Structure 1
Amino acid sequence: MTEPKSRSELRDGDIQAVTRCAEILRMLATDQTLRAADVAAGLGLQRSTAHRYLASMANAGLIERGEDGAFEPGPIAVHLGAAAMRRSRVLEIAAPYMTALSAESHETVVLSLWGGRGAVVTRVEMDTDRLAVVHVPEGRELPLNAAQSLVFLAHLPDRQLVDRLLSSLSAPMRQDIEQSIEQVKADGMGAHSMVVQGIHAVAAPVFDARGVICTTVALIGTSEALVAGPGSGLWKALKATAEQISAHLGHTSAPPA
């Protein structure tokens, strides 16, 4: 009788399966269509094993079988590709506006995308003429009380997701963040000084053509420079930049309430 696999073995097997599916998707991105023989040769698998992978991926919607029997990208892969293209377009469009804002403000400018549990730093522009600037590493996931995350929480269309995220927090922190979200709605922007002592962040939403928030643009600097509030020149410059990027993305109407 075969011994049941241990949890660690199952975990290793799951990781291997995910890795092989990713490799199959990479092959598909290059070749457009695949057959079991192609996957078997490319990954060094038995043809029957390759066929099982393809069949499972098709059942999940990652790929689908075409009329000629070859497999091609499925609906989930197509949606992911479209999302990646939208993100790529946002980064490309925002770049010159971020550079201009950094030069005008002499502060660090950060573009963040939503990562599911908070804003994720995706692009950073720094004023290279300054002797000292605030450095923010790209790829960093920010906490929910960061200015960028607060702006997302105020505008995300999936309010059930927002409720789930907030429900995982302690009561005092949830109350603080809920108050901050209301302040974002009132000011049109979010601000926070507690992530790093002495450093202040101010973030504004960027909306796509549908009026849905797609990214945030933020100024990061010392508390002395940025704490002045919505009436200050830097806050106004940030808001104007976010509106310019939104307009470039096709946003014309007021953001959703």
Structure 2
Amino acid sequence: MSGSASPSYRERNSTADRALDILLMFTDTQLVVSGSAVAERLGVARSTAYRYLQSLVSSRFLEEAPGGGFRLGLRVMEIARLARRSYGLSEVALPVMTELAEDVHETVLLTRRTRELVVCVDMAQTGTRAVRISYERGSTLPLNAGASALVLLAWLPQEEARRLLESASLHRFTPATLTDVDILMKRLDHIRRAGYSVTRGELDPDVMGIAAPVRDERQQVVAAVSVAALASRVFPEAEAEFARKVQETAQKISERLIAVGG
């Protein structure tokens, strides 16, 4: 039985592989491909290449381009839409957050703002150097405490940020927590110019946070990614390196978010 089944199985795999090879020819700089280019890529006769192309056209993965050649078809767009729907913020961010957690051996957090509260959406930990912090998945914290909260405020219009701070209950968690609105506004301006936020002992004693903004396709800040670590483990001279890695992680998450949401 296996002898009669395997030839057709191999043929199906070969056809699928060549169809994928054709689809992977499309790039930002090559939006239309010709039959001759496909034949050269696959190493087959032009008539064979056109047979593969017509099969992809009939299944709507490709369509004939107005000026000649072939372009991606509506079926690809439909699959891309379904793929985007399958991804939420956590699914997009968590793989990149995990990479950062394994790199710096510290806890990495993903947070969003809901009106006057900051919500911890997800976290990644290495398990060996996790610190006890106020953030847990689903927990909420006020706007004035912690690196993530300040990042989520910093890129709001100044009038909106001030209005939120003036209407919120600004709790003092530690002696370092800021509760004066004018001082907080100056702090937000500094964060916006630096591109990231650093706090030491402002939310949890002996814990420092470094956060950077995550942006959507409109370049709006929609989340913050941060590292939370014992302040004694991050010396001032290492702070800049941590900040660079957090910013790179935020950029990667932004790129992935744009890719699935565009």
Query: Where on the TM-score scale, by shorter chain, does this alignment land: which range?
Result: 0.5 to 0.7
In 2, Cα distance between the equivalents of 1:90 and 1:182? 27
Matches within 5 A, 1:118-197: 118-128=117-127, 130=128, 132-135=130-133, 136-145=135-144, 146-156=146-156, 159-168=158-167, 173-193=180-200, 194-197=202-205
Change (3 A) 1:212 1:86: farther
Change (3 A) 1:114 1:96: same
In 2, Cα distance between the equivalents of 1:246 and 1:153? 18
1:230 shift after superposition: 8.5
Question: CA offsets, 1:9-44, max 9 Å, x none?
Answer: xxxxxxxxxxxxxxxxxxxxxxxxxxxxxxxxxxxx
In 1, Cα distance between the equivalents of 2:194 and 2:183? 16
Secondary structure, aligned partner of 1:232: helix
In 2, Cα distance between the equivalents of 1:111 and 1:215? 7
Contact kept? 2:162, 2:185, Cα under 8 Å: no
User: Structure 2 unaligned runs (5+)?
Assistant: 1-83, 171-177
Tell me which residue corresponds to 1:71: none
Contact kept? 2:162, 2:181, Cα under 8 Å: no
Question: CA offsets, 1:138-178, max 9 Å, x none?
Answer: 12212222211111111135x54323212236896102211
Change (3 A) 1:226 1:189: farther
Q: Determine whether 1:249 maps to 2:257.
A: yes
The AA in structure 2 aligned to 1:122 is V
Could you tell me the percent identity over the aligned residues?
27
The AA in structure 1 aligned to 2:210 is V
The AA in structure 2 aligned to 1:148 is S
**Normalized against structure 1, the TM-score is what?**
0.57
Tell me which residue corresponds to 1:113: 112
1:98 shift after superposition: 0.5
In 2, Cα distance between the equivalents of 1:102 and 1:228? 19
Change (3 A) 1:250 1:210: same
User: Structure 1 unaligned runs (5+)?
Assistant: 1-84, 252-257
Change (3 A) 1:230 1:240: farther
Change (3 A) 1:248 1:229: farther
Tell me which residue corresponds to 1:202: 210
**Normalized against structure 2, the TM-score is what?**
0.56
Provide the aligned C-alpha RMSD in A. 2.7
Contact kept? 1:147, 1:201, Cα under 8 Å: yes
- Give aligned pairs, total: 165
Secondary structure, aligned partner of 2:204: coil
